[in-house]
Amino acid sequence: MTTAQLNFQLRNKRPVYLEFLHRNESGIIQFTDDWTIDRTLLYQGRRVTVQQYFEDRYGFFLEFPRTRMIYFLGNSGSTYPQESIICEWY
């Protein structure tokens, strides 16, 4: 199943409430096409990988930095590593 097919199927599911290591959010989850290790973001004026960001900001070392990230439908700017999810509620 491709990412597009998976995301299409997830759009037909009920929204979920997720607790992350650093925040809580709810909505319909989707998966990114790219892998975490290749994604960079601007943090404190410099480009860092997602792994570097989570280590610096939250002291959380990603064991699986090559996994796809999740985001919520309608908010693709906020992406999260899958392993940062603590629990989910429906």
Q: What's the confidence (pLDDT) of residue 86?
A: 75
8-58 pLDDT, tens digit each: 888 888 777 777 767 777 788 888 876 655 678 888 999 998 888 888 988
Residue pair 26/75 in contact (Cβ under 8 Å)? The answer is no
- Which positions ≥6 away from 23 have C-beta within 8 Å? none
Asked whether the predicted pLDDT for residue 89 surpasses 70, the reply is: no
- Which positions ≥6 away from 86 have C-beta within 8 Å? 19, 20, 21
Q: What CATH number is associated with residue 30?
A: 2.170.260.10
Owning domain of residue 20: 3-89
Q: What's the confidence (pLDDT) of residue 76?
A: 67
Does the predicted TM-score (pTM) go above 0.85?
no
Q: What's the confidence (pLDDT) of residue 65?
A: 76
